[in-house]
Amino acid sequence: MNERTPSETTEALHREIEQLRRAMKTRPAIDLARGALMASFRLSPQDAWTVLVTVSQHTNSKLHQVAEDVLGSINGEPLPQALQQQLAAALAPFRAKPPTPPHPADLPSGSPGADPDDALHPLPQPLDPCP
C-alpha cells in the first residue's frame, strides 16, 4: 500500500495550497482575455478557451502570460510576433465558418438580435490580430 507519512501529506497540502493561490491570482486575467476574444471575434466561451490554450501550447507560454499579452494589446501594447502568428492561426478555423445567429425566438425580449430589424444593423467587424 502507498500510505503517506504525515510529513508527505503536509508537503502535498502545501503544494496544493500554492497551486490554488497561483490560480486565484492568474484566473482574472485569463477570464478577461477570454471575454475579449469572445467579444472581438464572436467566439463561444469554449472556443475562446480553446484559442487561448492553443496559443499557449504553440508558443510554449503559460496560459496567464498569453492572457496578459492579449489584454495588453487591448491597451495599445504590441503583441509579440510569435503570439500574433499563433493567435491568427488559432482563430483561423473559427473565421472559416460564419457564426450561427441565434433564432430570435430564443432571445429574451430587448436583447440585441431579438428584433429581426437588427439584421439591418450588423455589429462592427472584429479587429484582425495581425497588422
Whether residue 125 is contained in a domain is answered as no
pLDDT value at residue 105 = 63
Quick one: cell of 20?
490554488
The number of domains in the chain is: 1
Quick check: helix, strand or coil at residue 121? coil
Whether residue 118 is contained in a domain is answered as no
Element (H, E) at 2: none
Residue-by-residue pLDDT tens, the chain, 131 positions: 578 898 999 999 899 989 888 878 889 999 999 999 999 999 999 999 999 999 999 999 999 999 999 999 988 999 999 999 999 999 999 887 665 565 666 555 554 444 444 443 333 344 445 44
Whether residue 119 is contained in a domain is answered as no
Whether residue 117 is contained in a domain is answered as no
Question: By residue range, what is the domain housing residue 68?
Answer: 10-92
Rounded to a whole number of angstroms, the CA Rg of the chain reads 20
Q: What is the pTM of this model?
A: 0.64
Whether residue 54 is contained in a domain is answered as yes
Helix axes 6-41, 81-96, angle to 10 degrees: 70
Taking phi over 0 as left and psi of -120 to 50 as alpha, with beta for the rest, 46 belongs to alpha
pLDDT value at residue 37 = 95
pLDDT value at residue 88 = 94
pLDDT value at residue 96 = 74
Element (H, E) at 7: helix 6-41
Whether residue 28 is contained in a domain is answered as yes
pLDDT value at residue 107 = 55
Whether residue 115 is contained in a domain is answered as no
- Closest listed residue to residue 113, CA positions, set 42, 51, 48, 45: 42
Whether residue 69 is contained in a domain is answered as yes
